[in-house]
Structure formats: structure tokens, C-alpha cells
Structure 1
Amino acid sequence: MKFPGQRKSKHYFPVSARDPLLQQMQPEEEVGTSYVVGIDQILVDIEAKVDDDFVQRYGLLPGQSSLIDDSTAEALYQELVSQSLITHQFAGGTIGNTLHNYSVLADDRSVLLGVMCNNIQIGSYAYRYLCNTSSRTDLNYLQGVDGPIGRCFTLVNDIGERTFAISPGHMNQLRPESIPEEVIAGASALVLTSYLLRSGAGEPMPEAAMQAISYAKKHQVPVVLTLGTQYVIADNPQAWRDFINEHVSILAMNEDEACALTGISDPLMASNRALDWVDLVLCTAGPNGLYMAGYTEEEFKRTTQHPLLPGAIAEFNQYEFSRAMRRESCVQPLRIFSHIAPYMGGPEKIMNTNGAGDGALSAVLHDIAANGFHRTSVPNSSKHAREYLTYSSLAQVCKYANRVSYQVLNQHAPRLSRGLPEREDSLEESYWER
């Protein structure tokens, strides 16, 4: 498979010596790259070892989550620093994690929109955010603010009990005028989270998110929404259904969020219900693996060579070797589904559950961007005779997402430090032109 990004392979012939037939077909100038753009509440996860007295002095509830104001957060942070109690400082945020992992996998550009402190001190939490973000993630469009970004403190006592203190800071102060239309217009996808639309009164973040969505729809860029948490959706599921139906093309969720949205506990049936509103669905289901659902053209469906799977929809993976399309691009849209069990049964010891779904989504985005990259690079390819959404079949995208999710579960942080080995070919690969 051909994906954007540098590969480690060595070749006998110089890479500049391309196929002469392709050289005749393509212009001499370099083809532009594909990228994805996302908006996030920029925050840092700060982990520290403290005693029970520390938790009590700051008025926190042991073992629970509490919101704290900026002044309390700053005093807490300074005490942790002065006492050398901090064990980890990770860049966080659902979309930040997703874009970082995308850039690591693709070895290519992503663009992050949000806010960042105007004044950054070496070693500070804002500095750590920049250090823990891939150099391929473009941070040039971040909006500067005079104050802190978001901070999530995880305070661990001697018996391992975790107490959380969350300070939003200025993370929801992104203004609509800070959303660059030209960046969204050239993207392969716009990635958002449900948290962006739930900011407090007077905060401009929801308006900024809607401005980005309007640009994406104007330029026919797929809008990707990750649901974030079941509790956000459960507050008003019908409002979220209406919003998704009107604005979203690709939906990412776990089985709990899927149930909150659709009222259906079966991930397969919940994914099927979500296809009433969107073109492509990713649903992670913990130890049961993950599901994907989408549309393809009835005339060009491809039968799987994998065993047919039982479920609420009989033999639901029958056409999983088909490539996904947007429903509006199909003359006779056919719903297609795929499922994969956890890679190698899952890690022997799960180091971290935070970010596994974000990792899976980054793989899906990589495949979508690869499709745009290949369409630009080889416009006459038979792969682009129809308006496909993904480069690979639904089964192959499912396999890739599963592998990345495993990698995140197998490490302490939600962000990949390096890419994966090149993807293995599967039975379906012989069907597709290289």
C-alpha cells in the first residue's frame, strides 16, 4: 500500500527514477501532500505523587474529580514543582492525541487549532505540551492567550488512589476569527470532539467549532466527530442525533457512547443505526474489539474472503472487502460492516486505556488522507474511478485501526512515540491496482 510519509525501505534504483509512463502522465512539479485539521481544548495531563494532607488542603474530594479555578490550579502546580512531586506531564486532549498519532503514523502534516499561552517558560506545562507533540503537527495556527491552557491534575496517594483536579484555564477561548478557512478547505478531514460544543456561558469555543464546520461543508471536507464521553451525550441524545445528522460525515465512539446516542447496547446495531445520520462509523468495543460501518455502491460491492460472522445482522461482514463511500456519492447505497477482535487477544497487561479510541481514529484518518494523496498523485488510477472515501477496504481499515489501538493500550501515554511497521498485505490486496 502507498501512504503519504517517508518509508524506511531501501531501494536499489534511485527513487528519482520513476516509471517513465507515470512521468509522462504527471506534471514535473511536486504533488501537494494530504493533511487533516482538528480543533481541541488544549490541555496537559499532570501526574504527581502526593499525600492525603495535600488533597485536603486544596479542598479536593479524594478519589473523585473536582473543578478548580485558575488561582488554585496555579498554587497547586507551583507547590508540586517546588516539592519535585510531578512524575509525568503529558500533552493531552482527544483531538491533540489523534492528530499527533496521525502525524506519527503518516510521517506527515496535521494542523491543530486551539489556544496556547503567549508566554511559555522552559519546563512549564505549556512547554511540555509542545515537546510532547509531533514536529509534523502544525501548531502555527494556534491562538495566543494571556493565561494558562487547560490542566488536568492526577494526584496519586501512597495506596494508589487517584484524585483528579481539572482547571479549564483559557482552553475554551478560541475565537471564530482564529479559524483559517484556507487551511480547512485544503484538508482531507476536519476532526472535532463533542466537548467543544459544551463550553460555559460567554466562551467562544462552540461558535469557533461551528465556524469550522461551515467552512468544511462549504468546501466538501468530511467532518469527523468523536463523542468524548457517554455522559455528554446522555444529557440530550436527540439533540446530538439532530446535530450529527446535519453536520457530521464520520462518527467515532465506544460502545457506551454508542448506547447513549442510539439507545442500543449492541455495538453492531448501534453502528447500523448511526448510518442513518453519517457516512462512516468507527465503534470500539473494549475486549470485543472494534466495529466499522459504512456505505458502498451496490454494483461494485466486494465479497469478503474472511469467515462470515454471526450477529444481530446475519453474516454482516459479507461485503467488508468493499471500499467505503459517502452515501450521497452512491447511486444504490449498500450498508457494509466489518469487525475485528483485539489484536493478538490484546496486551498481556493493559498499561493505559486513555487514548485507545483516539489511536484507532488516527488510523482511519490516515487511510482517508492516503486516498486523497493517491488521488492527487495518480489521478488516472482506476482506484479513483468512483468517489471513494477510503483508500482501503473496510476490513483493512478495521485491521489498521485495531493495530494502532493495541499499541496505545500497551504503553503508558496516549500518544505514540514512533510509527508502526509497514502494514502487511492481506488477501484483498491483489484486487487493487498499485
Structure 2
Amino acid sequence: MKFPGKRKSKHYFPVNLRDPLLQRAQPESDVSTAWVVGIDQTLVDIEAQVDDAFVRRYGLSLGHSLVIEDEVAEALYQELVARDLITHQFAGGTIGNTMHNYSVLADDRSVLLGVMCRNIPIGSYAYRYLCNTSSRTDLNYLQGVDGPIGRCFTLINAQGERTFAISPGMMNHLSPDSIPESIIAGAAALVLSAYLVRCKPGEPMLDAAMCAIQYAKKHDVPIVLTLGTKYVIADNPQWWQDFLKQHISILAMNEEEACALTGESDPLLAANNALDWVDLVLCTAGSEGLFMAGYTETAAKRQTQHPLLPGAIAEFNQYEFSRAMRRKDCQQPLRIYSHIAPYMGGPDKIMNTNGAGDAALAALLHDISANNFHRSNVPNSSKHQYHWLSYSSLAQLCKYANRVSYQVLNQHAPRLSRGLPEREDSLEEAYWER
């Protein structure tokens, strides 16, 4: 993506004369001026090939998902290691995935808040978590705990049937004291998951998340929420609607979560309903592709040059070349929408659906942080005539998020191992330069 920032290559012929309006732009610095912060339940996904006797021995139900106690999880893990049954160990967690993918795409800093084992043996699941996380993701603020982080075991028998065993460990023991206000104050966005509210009584994770939310609101940092699973939302959709209206700027969800939240099975209508509570919506919809909805200033709206699309809202993509704004920053807010079909029709074979939505969200976060970077380095640019939330238009955001999501669908792991090739110039970019 052609975002502002440090380049890996330099011009052969130096350019000494710059636009005089940009002479006061800040010089390039090695210190990151745009980052995102995420709070996660740190966990590792562990896959292993086992027989049915192994599943029964640990009191699991073949083909089902159960939560197990820490002692059972440790015994199960040690047997898997002793018998060399583990096939894959991936760093997991929806926000952990998003922070990693953001740092791979932006080649820049993200900050992950959560817990981590205080003592980490080489080769252990906690060690794998660190190894599978981008070096550009700042883990220095993780809170050390004397116990295990979360583990999700996927036990696969000879017939390919999968049994799931989940051990939360101490992943919900993040303390409000471990939330650094200064890091959130300087962030382009604070990213949270709906899973953070699912804590046992006495676990401090929810208090830590609310502490971070208060810091973000104090410093006017956009707060992003990814819904994670429809089951959490379906328990009490009204509570979630109120929570979104009070605290959240940007909402990420899939079509099932959108339906649980709004009651609308049509992703476009669900995204439109969500604009009653938030400023920007990203909704992945499987084979239908990806939808986005947001606000822009009426005076700054941009007409699309793509074909107008039919749908539950007629010609809904009419102003998809517009850039997104927070509703409170608009004098005359206008709702805008965009859609894109799956990239290249989707992969020939979907290797993994876990993490595709996290990857799409990482692309959106990259664009938001690029906007912050550009505004702080070139504040008098015409691109900042209004207080935009995004650097690119809704149409370009869809295109970028869709491409990154495809990359994850086409691989086994939920985390990107490398960035994407730079995109080609588009009709829309020429339109914006006029």
C-alpha cells in the first residue's frame, strides 16, 4: 500500500526542491508517531493428532467443545509433548492476531496488552506465542503472571473429527494497574474484543478494559470493537447496543454477529443499523464479500465512478469514494456505504477461516494510523481540510481489507507471515488527485 512513512528504497536522483507549502513538514524520524493498542486474552491454539481413547481419558466429548480446568489442561499438554503428538502451535487471540497483522502490513509498531507467563521454558506454548508474534508488536507492557496463559486444544482423530478443549488459564487476570495511559493517549486507535466481558467473578479483565476505554475517551482516541462470536452478542443484544453507543467508534463483525446484534440478516442493512451507535462499520459476509458503512461531511462527499449497486439500500455505493469521518466531527453528516466481492472470487481452497476478519480489521487500522501519521507530519496538506478518520476512501478500504483477508483464507495460520505487494494505481486515486 502506498502509505506515507519510511521507505525501504530511496530515490536515485535526490529531490531537493519541495513544495514550499510542505517545507514546514516534520523531518522523518525513526520514532513511530502512529501506533495502535490492543487488549487481548492471550492464548495459543494447539493442534494434535490423537486417538479416541485419548479424548475419553481426559473426559472430553468427541466432536464437541468443552472448557477444562488448568490441572487437566496441563496434564493433557504434557502427554501431547511426551508422545510428540502436536502438529501445530499458533499464537492466537483475535486482538493478538490483529496487532500482529497490523505490524506486518504497516511494518510499524503496535502495542499488545494482556498477560504472559512469567517463566517461559524454551519450546513451550508461551514461547511459541512470542515466536509467532511480529517483532514490531511491542510486548513490553504485558503483565507477568505465575500460571498459564490460555490454551485452545484442537484434537483431531484418524477420521478427521475435531474435539476442542479450552483452558482459560490466567488470560483474564489483566489488572487495571497494567494499563499505561501514556501509550493509549498517543495511539491511533484502541482495539478491544467482545470476549473481554466474558470473565468469571473476581477476574479483573473487564475492569482493565473499562480502564483503557476511559483513557481512550479522555484523549479522544477512537475505540474499536470486534464482536468475535454471535453467541456472546445473542445473549443480550440490547446491552451490546447500549455499550456501542456509549463507548465505541468503529465496529468489526461478520454477518452472523451482525444479525445477532441488529436482527437484520442482510449485511448492508445490519451495517446501516449499526451506524445508529458507531461511526464506522466493517462487516465481512463470507461468499458475499465485505461491506463497509460510515459517515462523511456532506460538503466533502465524492461520487463513485464504479457502477452503482442494487441492494436493500438503492445505489448504496453512490458516495463510496468519500473518506470516513467520526459523526461528531461532521457539521452535516452523510451516511456512506461500499461493498466488494471476494478477491479473485476467493481462494480455490479455503485453508483457514479463523482470523480472516482479524486480517481485514488490521488493514483498516493500518489506514487509520497512516492518516494520523500524515496529519502529524504534513498538517497543512489538503488531505486534512476536514478531520478525517481514514486516509483512504471507503472503496479503497474495502479493497485493501478484502485483499488481506484473502491472504489469511489462503494459508493455514491465522497470522500473516509477510506483507502484501504494493497495489496498483486505481481510477479512484486519479480522481482524488484532481
For this structure pair, what is the TM-score category when the shorter chain's length is used for normalisation? Answer: over 0.9
Partner of 1:223: 223
Distance 1:18 1:252, change over 3 A: farther
Tell me, yes or no, if structure 1 residue 256 matches structure 2 residue 256.
Answer: yes
Alpha-carbon distance change, 18 to 198 in structure 1, aligned in 2, over 3 angstroms: farther
Equivalent AA in structure 2 for residue 390 of structure 1: S
- For the residue of structure 2 that corresponds to 1:38, the secondary structure is strand
Counterpart in 2 of 1:26? 25
CA separation in 1, counterparts of 2:306 and 2:416?
30
Match of 1:185 in 2: 185
Contact 1:5 1:108 in 2 (8 A): no
Q: Evaluate the alpha carbon distance shift between residue 418 and residue 241 of structure 1 in structure 2; reply closer, same or farther with a 3 A threshold.
A: same
Give, in whole Å, the separation in 1 of the partners of 2:127 and 2:19.
Answer: 48
The 8 Å contact of residues 2 and 370 in structure 1, kept in 2 or not, is answered as: no
TM-score by length of 2: 0.97
Determine the structure 2 residue equivalent to 1:356: 356
Deviations 1:111-131 (A, max 9, x none): 000000000000000000000
Runs (5+) with no aligned partner, structure 2:
none
- Cα 1:336–1:23, aligned 2, differ >3 Å: closer, same or farther? closer
Contact 2:22 2:381 (C-alpha < 8 Å) held by counterparts: no
Using the TM superposition, give the Cα deviation of residue 300 of structure 1 relative to its aligned residue in structure 2, in angstroms. 1.1
Match in the other structure for 1:105: 105
Q: 3-state SS of the aligned residue for 2:23?
A: helix
- Give the direction of change, closer, same or farther, for the CA distance of 1:421–1:9 in structure 2 (3 Å limit): farther
The answer to whether the 8 Å contact 1:288/1:341 transfers is yes
SS of equivalent residue, structure 1 residue 429: helix
**Paired amino acid for 2:347:** P
Deviation by residue 1:7-57 (Cα, 9 ceiling, x = unmatched): 454531358x57374773134573742100000000000000000000000
Post-superposition shift, 1:237?
A: 0.4
Report the 3-state secondary structure (helix = DSSP H, G, I; strand = E; otherwise coil) of the residue aligned with 1:391. Answer: strand
Distance 2:94 2:218 in 1: 25
SS of the residue aligned with 1:256? helix
Match of residue 173 from structure 1: 173
Partner of 1:118: 118
**Distance change in 2, residues 1:32/1:18 (3 Å):** farther
For 2:2 and 2:291, locate their aligned partners in 1 and report how far apart those are by CA, in whole Å: 24
Aligned letter for 2:369?
A: A
CA deviation after TM superposition for structure 1 residue 299, in Å: 1.0
Q: Does 1:415 align with 2:415?
A: yes
Secondary structure in structure 1 of the residue aligned to 2:135: coil
Structure 1 segment 260-409 matched on structure 2, within 5 A: 260-409=260-409
Secondary structure class of the residue paired with 1:25: coil
C-alpha distance in structure 1 between counterparts of 2:195 and 2:314, whole Å = 36
Matched, 1:203 2:203: yes
* Paired AA for residue 285 in structure 1: A
Matched letter for residue 124 of structure 1 = S
Q: Can you give the 5+ residue segments of structure 1 that lack an aligned partner in the other structure? A: none
SS of 2:402's partner is helix
The residue correspondences of 1:10-25 to structure 2 (distance < 5 A) are 11-14=11-14, 19=18, 21=20, 24-25=23-24
Residue by residue over 1:67-87, the C-alpha shift from the partner in whole angstroms, topping out at 9 and shown as x without a partner, is 111111010000000000000
Q: Normalising by structure 1, what TM-score?
A: 0.97
Q: Return the alpha-carbon distance in structure 2 between the equivalents of residues 28 and 402 of structure 1.
A: 33
Structure 2 match to 1:144: 144
Map 1:78-97 → 2, pairs under 5 A: 78-97=78-97
Q: Which moved more, 1:306-315 or 1:6-15?
A: 6-15
| Map of 1:159 onto structure 2 | 159
- Could you say if the C-alpha distance between residues 306 and 23 of structure 1 is closer, same or farther in structure 2, counting changes exceeding 3 Å? closer
CA distance in 2, matches of 1:109, 1:287: 32
Segment drifting more, 424-433 vs 273-282: 424-433
What amino acid sits opposite 1:25 in the alignment?
R
Asked if the contact 1:383–1:433 (Cα under 8 Å) also holds between the matched residues in 2, the reply is no
Q: Specify the alignment match of 1:77 in structure 2.
A: 77
Q: Distance in 2 between matches of 1:122 and 1:104?
A: 24
Secondary structure in structure 2 of the residue aligned to 1:399: helix
Mapped partners of 1:3, 1:28: distance in 2: 16
Query: Could you tell me which amino acid in structure 2 is paired with residue 163 of structure 1?
Result: T
Q: Distance in 2 between matches of 1:306 and 1:29?
A: 36
Root-mean-square deviation (Å): 1.5
CA contact (8 A) 1:118 1:145 kept: yes
CA contact (8 A) 1:4 1:107 kept: no
Give the number of equivalent residue pairs: 433
1:43 matched to which residue of 2? 43
* Deviations 1:371-397 (CA, angstroms, capped at 9, x unpaired): 000101111100001000000000000
- After the TM superposition, list the runs of 4 or more consecutive aligned residues in structure 1 that deviate by more than 6 angstroms: none
- The alignment-based identity, stated in percent, is 79
Contact 2:91 2:132 survives alignment (8 Å): yes
Task: Return the letter of the residue paired with 1:405.
Answer: S
Aligned partners of 1:237 and 1:261 also within 8 Å = yes
Q: Deviations over 1:107-155 (max 9, x none)?
A: 0000000000000000000000000000000000000000000000000
